[in-house]
Structure 1
Amino acid sequence: MSAIFGGRPRAQLPEPLTEGVAAIEATNISVRIDGKQILTDASIGVSAGEVLALIGPNGAGKSTLLSAITGDQARSGGEVRIAGRRIEDWRLRELSQRRAVLLQDNGVFFPFTVEQVVEMGRAPWQRTVREDEDDEAVAEALALTDIERFRQRRVPSLSGGERARSSFARILAQRTGVLLLDEPTAALDLRHQEDVLRLARDRARAGDAVVVVLHDLNLAAAYADRIALLSRGAIVAHGTPSEVLTAERIGAVYEQAVEIMTHPVSGATLIIPVRHDARFAAGAAARKESVL
């Protein structure tokens, strides 16, 4: 039942997610586009409090699977549930209060300021008690993404990385319990790649569910609780980073030999391509000689 605040009705708010309970359930997702099978029987689940990374070579179906989960991509088979309810049964406004989506192509071509773009993330909360958080949510998102100094700049005047951070700030300002991120680090420098994944990790630690498409296997290993590896439109491995990221599997899927190493200080898993360039071979030989 709606309550009355300030003389006008406020919409009912969604129930918060319970940590460890399924926030997203995607079952046997298949997608066919222009007669071509893009995705076949892909199933994943994401619980509140965890980060799931979708990885795989170009064209493997990662972004298609994410788009099917968001409801933006029509499915030829399978079912998607958000918070236990079929995605088709949510009204768009309700869905926007439960999941925030960062698309791979998030260009802004109209001359909005950065602050205006971030404020767009608050639209789902209009006429609810949570619209009282608008100023705080926008200010926090600008600070977290290191774009406060750009707040009055027109978005088309920014660099690609600055625009990407503005779009990510909009998602953070939305303050939903589920984040669906398609290659959020693609246009970013080293520092801001780490910042984005740290923020995603922090949101999961606070009880949110995060699904992120990544190309960088080291970022996936460092920040994901679980990884789904896709190849040719199918999930070929699904588990913890140590379970999925084996040299044999990565070599087979990416057609690139790699070495899996453990960082001597942090213990982090490192995936390093095996390079056959004569310069690398000479350097490796020199290092071996110095050790012997």
Structure 2
Amino acid sequence: MKKVFALFLLLAMVLNTRAAVVYTKQDSLIYEKYISQLKAEATLPIGELIVKTALFFRDTPYVASTLDNNQEEQLVVNLHQFDCTTFVENCIALSRTLKTGDYSFSNFCNQLKSIRYRDGKIEDYTSRLHYVTDWIYNNSKRGILEDKTLALGGIKDTKTINFMSTHTDAYKALRSDSKLRQKTANIEQQINNRAEYYVLKKEDINKVGNRIINGDIIAFATGIAGLDYSHISIAYHYNGKLTFIHASSRAMKVIVEPQPLYDYCVKSSKCTGISIFRAIDL
């Protein structure tokens, strides 16, 4: 294991020198610990492996906007802080890394990049899949995820997606770059033209709860104008109820949500329903 870790550190230093990956020593140590503890579970179905990965990060602090601290768009590996999206992305990427049998840091970076960026390529800020709708479309197209919402009774949502282009002051990269603003607007138009956006109404969640399996990705549709989803999490059947694991901005850490999924959604005035996506096993 010491030899493997030494090679990992050498590769990581090379990658960092080339500015291809941004990470800290703390992240490399967490990665080593994760591989050491979870590699024996690699034969599990990927959904179960995603849950074990999510639980590995329980109590990790919630921190927003950890991907937006660099002048140029780069792959950020941050395993010591998460927002709801980076938590889910890392859980999928780490699980896929284990399933491949290649435990190298470079493989994990490639898995994360493939999930986070359009067609797995980093070009600029707009190549990051900011909208969950776009994230699902691209990852489904490349055989990483499968949208289960329609099969579970979801209906097409015809909502216009334009939150980023109409709230550019909320995004540091868009405030002073007219080219990025235009590219963002173009991407939103592509999303709207696809019209492939399905949502299960929140009052119908209990009807299909037994068909949502551990490790499914749950996205929470929102009533906020111009926005598709406001939160994302990992499904988890726990103590006889369907709930989820998430990086919670309320608890300020990764938690197993104490409320059942249905209750959580019904009590939220902004949640209009959920969409369910399943990782495809390797």
State the TM-score, normalizing by the size of structure 1.
0.27
Q: Hey, which of these two has a bigger chunk of strand by percent?
A: 1
Higher helix share: 2
Q: Which has the larger radius of gyration?
A: 1
TM-score when scaled to structure 2?
Answer: 0.28
